[in-house]
Structure 1
Amino acid sequence: MLSSLKTPPRDRPVSGLRGVRPAERLCHATGTVLVLSGLAHLVVFAVDGGPWWGPVSWRKPVTFGLSFGLTLMAVTWVTSYLRIGERLRTVLLLVFAADCVVEVGGITLQAWRRVPSHLDMETPFDTVVSMTLAVGGGVLVVLLAVFAVVSFRRRPAGPEGMALAVRSGFAVLLVALVSGAAMIARGVVLVRTGHQEAAYDSTAPLKPLHGVSLHAVLVLPALAWSLSRTSWSGRVRWRIVATAVGCYAVAVAAAGVWAVLTF
């Protein structure tokens, strides 16, 4: 679906777009594979059973495969509206795609080994996997922060409301990344102080905030793109996007309050 949305802004140089298209196709293909992996593990869960919640469950390869796959495809599409050098964008997207594969791969591996993927330092191998996932999360924060900064430094191209949608999407996505980093940091501290089980439970309050804010970078720009296909005026389309941004902000704020109250 996202590949069909990839309508490059008219004012982007054609030569630059031609140079980045193979990377875009690779990122969309990789995202598709990750989504299919998540769906495949949903079938595994249906067959194998077991708990859905908890540090060891088929839920993690399902949700992470779907989330990382959709996010990779969304970021690949949305960044086509950013005013950024094509070579830099290509490098950032390829590193982002590789990092997504590492994250989902590590989580899936540990699910099949029937051990936790995050915060598990029971054995040297589990420690390597856990730390690799943590470092990969840091890389994600840096890459997406760069895209977010670019979106605010120079107004993104595209139809009416797209600039607001892209900027808001990246801003909300950064909330998801910060909440994810907070979960890992809090868990690591508890593990290092000998509270392994408490570390697994400590991530629960931030999960709603992390989940709600993760896909704004897809939902909001997709709304702006869809509205550009209507006959409504630019002012009406912008107001609809602004309303959607406001609703998303309220949802994120509510999830944040829940996190504070349940910590």
Structure 2
Amino acid sequence: MQIEKSGRASSRDNSGAPVPVTWWAEARPVERLCHATGLLLILSGLAHLVVFAVDGGPWDGPVSWRKPVTFGLSFGATLIAITWVTSYLRVGPRLRTVLLAVFAADCVVEVGGITLQAWRRVPSHLDMETPFDTGVSMTLAVGGGVLVVLLTVFALASFRNPPAGPAGMSLAVRSGFAILLVALASGAAMIARGVVLARTGHQEAAYHSTAPLKPLHGVSLHAVLVLPALAWLLSRTPWSEAVRRRIVAAATTCYVVAVIGAGVWAVLTY
């Protein structure tokens, strides 16, 4: 055991890398904050699913209860996943604390803006109809840019030094972040294309322009949770490290194929 500068005891593996925390009591304050925030966002998504069941209305389209449901669930799960997965990265504790705190705040802003507009019965993204709606839309766009920067920093950290963890975790984390970059690129492309159309007076076209890229964005977004979770679950089995690495590699290959398929569909329907 070693005592980090924060004063918390931390186990280290044979290479000297910190072993990720596994118990709530041992988690840093920022980790507790992020997990609690992620859970609240998930609960918000589930609550709006109930609202949709009661209030009805369309599930698709720029104005629907789908957006606070899917964004609440997605941002909540992603925040919890990133908080957990980055514990395997060789990143300074202070830098990781700052990045996670900003990431959590940004997730709240994104889901909050989307939820606000859903209750106002107006589109959350690409809506330039009034000064207030433009302000919300641009805030969400800027928030999306902040997400890209933060997650890219974590991705680069995973590529710079091998992540710690059980057999297959390094591949799972690196692959998860690499695929996440695809999600960030597709999300940025949707926002950029939509903003251009909205600014040039093609508001309706802006709402529909994001459809081809949505499957690619959705599929690639959660690899950073699915693949590391698989590696973690396999570490609880009696299988050898070689077998576990092969399973993670096979799962990664399947995920990449799914992302490529969604990308091809996007190109064909764009």
Instruction: State the TM-score bracket (shorter-chain normalisation).
Output: over 0.9
Within-5 A mapping of 1:34-53: 34-53=41-60
Of 206, 213, 218, the match for 2:220: 213
- Residue 82 of structure 1 pairs with residue 89 of structure 2: yes
Give structure 2 stretches of 5+ with no counterpart. 1-9
**CA 94–8 in structure 1, closer or farther in 2 if over 3 Å, else same:** farther
Do 2:11 and 2:18's aligned partners in 1 also have CA atoms closer than 8 Å? no
Give structure 1 stretches of 5+ with no counterpart. 1-6
**Aligned residues between the structures:** 256
Aligned partner letter, 2:195: V
Give the deviation of 1:13 after TM superposition: 4.6
Give the deviation of 1:19 after TM superposition: 9.2
- Residue 248 of structure 1 pairs with residue 255 of structure 2: yes
Alignment correspondent of 1:228? 235
Aligned partner letter, 1:92: L
Task: Note the aligned Cα RMSD (angstroms).
Answer: 1.8
Alignment correspondent of 1:142? 149
State the distance in 2 between where 1:35 and 1:114 align.
21
Within-5 A mapping of 1:133-212: 133-212=140-219
Do 1:60 and 1:108's aligned partners in 2 also have CA atoms closer than 8 Å? yes
Do 2:18 and 2:164's aligned partners in 1 also have CA atoms closer than 8 Å? no
State the distance in 2 between where 1:42 and 1:158 align.
36
- Residue 105 of structure 1 pairs with residue 104 of structure 2: no
State the distance in 2 between where 1:8 and 1:139 align.
32
Do 1:110 and 1:117's aligned partners in 2 also have CA atoms closer than 8 Å? yes
Aligned partner letter, 1:44: V
Matched residue of 2:28: which SS? helix
Alignment correspondent of 2:267? 260
Of 127, 130, 135, the match for 1:128: 135
State the distance in 2 between where 1:146 and 1:8 align.
25
Aligned partner letter, 2:218: G
Do 2:127 and 2:137's aligned partners in 1 also have CA atoms closer than 8 Å? yes
Q: Deviations over 1:103-162 (max 9, x none)?
A: 000000000000000000100000000000000000000000000000000000000000
Greater relative CO, 1 or 2 (CA 8 Å, sep 6+): 1
Percent sequence identity is: 82
Give the deviation of 1:192 after TM superposition: 1.2
Q: What TM-score do the two structures reach when normalised by structure 1?
A: 0.94
Give the deviation of 1:12 after TM superposition: 4.2
| Greater Cα shift, 16-25 or 113-122 | 16-25
Give the deviation of 1:193 after TM superposition: 1.2
**CA 191–19 in structure 1, closer or farther in 2 if over 3 Å, else same:** same
